Amino acid sequence: MNSDERLDQLTRWVRRFDALGDASPVPVSEDASFRRYYRVQGDESLIVMDAPPELEDSRPFVDVAAFLASMELNSPRIVEFDLEKGFLLVTDLGCTQYLQQVDAEPGTADALYSDAIDALIVMQKEGKAFQGRLPAYDETLVRFETTIFRDWLCDWHLRMKLSDCEEREWQRCCDVLADCTLSQPSVFVHRDYHSRNLMVTETDNPGILDFQGAVEGPYVYDLVSLLRDCYIRWPDDFVARHMERFFVACESGKTREDFARDFDLVGVQRHLKAAGIFARLFHRDGKSAYLKDIPRTLAYVVDVSSQYDELHFIAEYVSNRVLPALEEAVK
């Protein structure tokens, strides 16, 4: 089915509902998946999510939406859905992403991020009720995600192969990252909690989007997604201030030193994965917009890895091999 036929099918589905009999879906956005979003106007503004079932499984979205609603967090509520067709009608959280807001008015960032930290704490504490009902962020998934960097960015995008010696060093670093990630307290993890998935709302800020990948995983994962964001880099004092807000509230039982190490190493693992995903989005899905975010994402990897002897190889490899190759690739 081509895109026009798919849109026709979606429009007919939407118009089955009384308040939307004359609705004409207006494109809102795409994301880093195969989903597309449309806004429709009836008695109120609503969002239609088009998730082709052969490409996207929408059942996790439905499940996690119910979990977040029970926590009284501000996330889209499902109005209607048809999983066989891959159509979902959900409430509309508005048009302003955190990223757009802080770009336009940087002075609003502290208040917005305080709200985001508060919502994250609620998600972790109330999320205990759903333990065992989310996929586990286990060793298989952690190690698979790390291979995305090597396979898609290094091998495929840059045509760089690790030597046997480099492969041994790479695997040793991956062991360090996996051990740190898997040893942390396990909580409800959104898994993509950043400035493009948080919406500015007048009440109950923030609006939380793109939560279908939620897992049970490390307690700092969402925090590092938020504060070391692939799409905007915050000053160190801003990051430290909001880390401290989270540290006090989360009651992890960790020392500040251990908390900082957990934050740093989970960040390295996440940023390696994200850089690989950005390359994959270009080569597999034809989405080039994310390529510009790779240098920012890898700058975090270099800055953090260089502070840990056990990650020295990653710092050197990314700094001396990968980043220069990226610069050369865009010439």
Q: Give mean pLDDT in consecutive 10-residue pieces for the chain, a chain of 331 residues.
A: 82 90 84 83 91 92 96 96 95 96 98 98 96 94 95 96 94 97 97 98 96 97 98 98 97 96 98 98 93 97 98 98 91 64
pLDDT of residue 225: 98
Where are the domains positioned within the chain?
3-91, 98-329
Tell me how far CA of residue 22 lies from CA of 36, 49, 79, 210, in angstroms: 21, 18, 18, 28
pLDDT of residue 281: 95
Q: Which tokens sit at 60?
A: 């996790």
**Cis omega before residue 52 (within 30°)?**
no
pLDDT of residue 4: 78
pLDDT of residue 50: 94
3-state helix, strand, coil in the chain (%, to 5): 55, 10, 30
Instruction: Give the up-direction half-sphere exposure of residue 125: CA atoms within 13 A in the CB hemisphere.
Output: 13
Class in CATH terms, 3-91: alpha beta
Q: What CA–CA distance (Å, rounded) separates 302 from 232? A: 16
Q: How many CB atoms lie within 10 A of CB 228?
A: 25
CB 200 within 8 A of CB 97: yes
Domain 98-329 has CATH 3.90.1200.10: yes
pLDDT of residue 2: 65
